[in-house]
Amino acid sequence: MTADRRDFLKQLSVGGIAAVALPSTAMAAATAPSTPPLAEIAAMLSPADPPTFDTSWTARLTTKHRAVFDVPEINGGSGVFRAGLWVQHYVGVLQARPAEMQPVLVIRSKAIPLVMTQEYWLRYAVADRADVRHPMTDEKTKRNPALMTAVDDGLPPGLATLALDEQMKRGTIVLACNMAFALCVQTIADHDKLSPADARKKALEMMLPGVILQPNGIFGVVLAQQHGCAFVAAA
């Protein structure tokens, strides 16, 4: 963990950043030890039966304040937390209304396990193949840092409200790179001895509900920018 990220998260824990209650708005080196060549990834995507991709989320990019947060690394979930922090500060400092805010999180490359459930992390030993650290203690953890809670994981309440699933409940758009997701599929196929089709079905069932797959992460980042989102390199 970098000193910069550790200081950022500790600042949250000691109240340096006020938590604002927000009402609802209207493998990485872990799952994949290393990124395979593009040709291998292309083969995983089954070009004979390509998936379809939903871009209807762009219709929600009409708010006064909107930003896209590019998250290519796990890094203790810090990229995810920064998106929630942006909303809190605009509400607290600029008196923006939550309905005027629209964050978009793009989870791609080595960060792709962040969109997978805790069950996936434990069953497929994600953290055993990467140096995944607890957001606050910097101790090694087997759990998805972006889904940690105050009760189960000892996160400060202010930080727990910025967890990925909590942000999605408040209307944050979460996009995931389908090319990186193919590595999650491969992990399941190898571990459970499943066909590519069955492994993909299982991987989709273990992805957080509401996450929207895009052809690749950069596709989502650029499309969000073309619809007026400010770009943030979040992780």
42-51 pLDDT tens trace: 555 555 556 7
User: Which of 25-39, 63-77, 81-95, 121-135 is least confident?
Assistant: 25-39
Which burial class, exposed, middle or buried, applies to 38 when counting CB atoms under 10 A from its CB (0-12, 13-18, 19+)? exposed
Distance in angstroms between the alpha carbons of the first and the last residue of the chain: 12
User: Which of 61-75, 108-122, 134-148 is least confident?
Assistant: 134-148
For residues 232 and 69, is the Cβ–Cβ distance under 8 A?
yes
Report which of residues 177 and 13 the model is more confident about.
177
Report which of residues 137 and 69 the model is more confident about.
69
Write down the pLDDT at residue 37.
58
Write down the pLDDT at residue 31.
40
Write down the pLDDT at residue 216.
95
Expressed as residue numbers, the domain containing 171 is 3-233
- Work out the mean pLDDT of the chain and round it to a whole number: 86
**CATH assignment at residue 120:** 3.40.1260.10
Write down the pLDDT at residue 115.
98
191-229 pLDDT tens trace: 999 999 999 999 999 999 999 999 999 999 999 999 999
Percentage of residues of the chain with pLDDT beyond 90: 71
Q: In angstroms, rounded to a whole number, what is the distance separating the alpha carbons of residues 167 and 161? A: 7
Q: How many structural domains comprise the chain?
A: 1
Write down the pLDDT at residue 46.
53
Query: Using 50, 70 and 90 to split pLDDT, how confident is the model at 20?
Result: very low
Q: How far is CA 176 from CA 7, 9, 212, 213, in A?
A: 28, 24, 6, 5
78-126 pLDDT tens trace: 999 999 999 999 999 999 999 999 999 999 999 999 999 999 999 999 9
